[in-house]
Amino acid sequence: MLTGVRITVEGGSTPEIREEGCPPGTTVEVRDLFFNTPARRKFLRAEQTELSRIVDVVKRLALAHPHIRFRLFNRKTKILDTGRTGLKERIYHLLGEDVANGLLCAELSRPPCRVEVALSPPEMSYASAKRLFLNVNRRPIRDSLLTHAILDGYSGMLENGRYPFTLVHIHMPEEYVDVNVHPAKIEVRFKEPNTIYTVVKDSVERALKGRAVKSSELTRKKEVDKRASYSPQVVPQAKESTAVYTPSRDTSAEERGLFEEHTRFLGQLWGEYALFERGSEFWLVDQHGAMERVAYEKLRNEYSERGGLKSQYLLVPERIETTPEETATLNTFSQALCGFGFELVPFGPSTTRGGQTFLIKAIPHLLSGVSTERLIKDIAEELAQTARGTKRLEDSLERILMTMACHSVIRGARVLSVEEAVELLKAVERTELSSWCPHGRPVVRIFRKEEVEKLFKRR
């Protein structure tokens, strides 16, 4: 029989230590919290509220230490028993099958830290941030910087006010983190916070990029449909948008042949959703959301690579009337607007809005053919929030690019030709993170033949 040591401490008394037979390992047992501290007891909430808080604490510890078994009892009723498992099994046990099966993982090392993330896809989001689990050297913490890093990593994929499930493990030398900044040890101070923010954000983006619709999914060699290549349905004429979607001309004949061999454009629903058949799958594509994501990624990549957007001068400048608040914002952020490809010049006082009149002489080249007055006002409102301190400049930049992408593409119903529809789907599969529009809404829904057959009781 193996011999171990039992240590018992009650209410801060001198520890009682004695030898006792036991299996290998360490067991820590906590009972009757606050049994001898009535002053603390009177501040406790209802029993169910306190129990839920205890369960949350144990869950956070269990996710931080998946190699340790945790058991939780309430009046002899077992609440939790995790067993000793791997991380995915622990998540399955604590948060359910849906979260565990949809898990996206990534790891990134950058001095002075190594970051591991496990997170849910954007479509699996929640109304509160209580499913954000943050750990530093296996210590559960709460940290606004890390929360911002996670949400920024999801930028353009989550709807406003929604939060994902995210488990973050940060491993770093102890000298780079101070854990003694909060009485309950739930907050820490990083020696290099900007580095930590960047690594966590990049780790989240790396995990999510694996979920984008890939060209291999669209063009992989499967069973070839021998029916007519394309049979678009007749769609009632819908009102056309001012923005025109232009198919790319750089697709090779070989690529077109492979695509057409596997995919048929069936038609549209209400002029807003494109329908495709590919093998045993049926694809439903939100036209506006898809084009918005493609345009957003083009704008973001250009802004990142060039430090700004390329401008295109207008033959006839547009005139815009502004309120005093809009005037102040546009004057304050004139350099930022130049970076976004706009050139605005003052043109005297406004006769209708109380502010100033501006002439729009140049716009971003990707917005050619788009009316920009409403867009300029939306950008001014976004920048005003930065000036008031209610938003960080980085957040405003992302939001402005989203707004520009939204204004640059089809809004509302529009009939697509066969060539436009096919080119749209190709653009989607060439674009990173194309499964969601920049606002976090899904772009593509895929239904398998088996699902349709079940609807009609044929399976």
Q: Alpha-carbon distance 320 to 311, whole Å?
A: 18
306 lies in the same domain as 445: yes
Last residue of a domain, one of 151, 185, 209: 209
57 lies in the same domain as 170: no
Reading the block at residue 215, the tokens are 């060209």
272 lies in the same domain as 192: no
* SS3 assignment, position 206: helix
Look at residue 64 in the predicted model and tell me its pLDDT.
93
Residue among 145, 191, 212 nearest 394 (CA): 145
pLDDT tops 80 at residue 19: yes
Domain range enclosing 67: 3-89
Strand-pair category, 356-364 with 311-321: antiparallel
97: in domain: no
115 lies in the same domain as 74: no
The partner residues of 436 in beta bridges, in order of sequence, read 442
85 lies in the same domain as 112: no
- The CATH number of whichever domain residue 229 belongs to comes to 3.30.1370.100
Lowest mean pLDDT among 133-142, 236-245, 418-427: 236-245
The long-range contacts involving 369-372, CB below 8 angstroms and separated by at least 24 positions, are 369/242, 369/243, 369/244, 370/242, 370/243, 370/407, 370/408, 371/242, 371/318, 372/318, 372/342, 372/407
Return the beta strands (E) in 137-262 as ranges: 139-141, 163-164, 166-171, 177-178, 189-190
182 lies in the same domain as 57: no
21 lies in the same domain as 106: no
Would you place residue 95 in the very low, low, confident or very high pLDDT band (cuts 50, 70, 90)? Answer: confident
Could you give the number of structural domains in the chain? 3
266: in domain: yes
pLDDT tops 50 at residue 222: no
Lowest mean pLDDT among 16-25, 281-290, 387-396: 387-396
Query: 221 φ, ψ to 5°?
Result: -80, 105
Last residue of a domain, one of 38, 55, 89: 89
122: in domain: yes
Question: What does the pLDDT average to over 183-209?
Answer: 90
363: in domain: yes
182: in domain: yes
Reading the block at residue 18, the tokens are 């004695």
111 vs 117, 143, 202, 427, CA distance in Å? 17, 20, 14, 37
Lowest mean pLDDT among 14-18, 90-94, 327-331, 384-388: 384-388
- Full strand arrangement of the beta sheet holding 444-448: 263-269, 273-278, 281-286, 444-448
Question: What does the pLDDT average to over 366-383?
Answer: 77
Q: Alpha-carbon distance 89 to 103, whole Å?
A: 11
CB atoms within 10 A of CB 372: 19
94: in domain: no
447 vs 73, 187, 280, CA distance in Å? 43, 45, 9
36 lies in the same domain as 73: yes
Exposure string of 262-292, with b = 16+ CB inside 10 Å and e = fewer, is bbbbbbbeebbbbbbbbeebbbbbbbbbbbb
254 lies in the same domain as 335: yes
- The CATH number of whichever domain residue 22 belongs to comes to 3.30.565.10
Reading the block at residue 187, the tokens are 């907050």
pLDDT tops 70 at residue 256: no
- The CATH number of whichever domain residue 128 belongs to comes to 3.30.230.10
Q: Alpha-carbon distance 290 to 122, whole Å?
A: 16
User: pLDDT by residue (tens digit) across 107-166?
Assistant: 999 999 999 999 998 878 887 888 899 999 999 999 989 998 998 888 777 877 788 999
300 lies in the same domain as 393: yes
221 lies in the same domain as 314: yes
Whether residue 24 is preceded by a cis peptide bond, meaning omega within 30 degrees of 0, is no
Q: What angle do CA 266, 267, 268 make, to 5 degrees?
A: 140
95: in domain: no
Lowest mean pLDDT among 103-112, 320-329, 434-443: 434-443
62: in domain: yes
Query: 363 φ, ψ to 5°?
Result: -135, 165
313 lies in the same domain as 426: yes
How many whole angstroms from its chain centre is CA 94?
22
Look at residue 1 in the predicted model and tell me its pLDDT.
55
Sign of the Cα pseudo-torsion (111, 116, 122, 126, in order)? negative
Reading the block at residue 300, the tokens are 């973001």
Last residue of a domain, one of 89, 118, 149: 89
Q: Alpha-carbon distance 292 to 294, whole Å?
A: 5
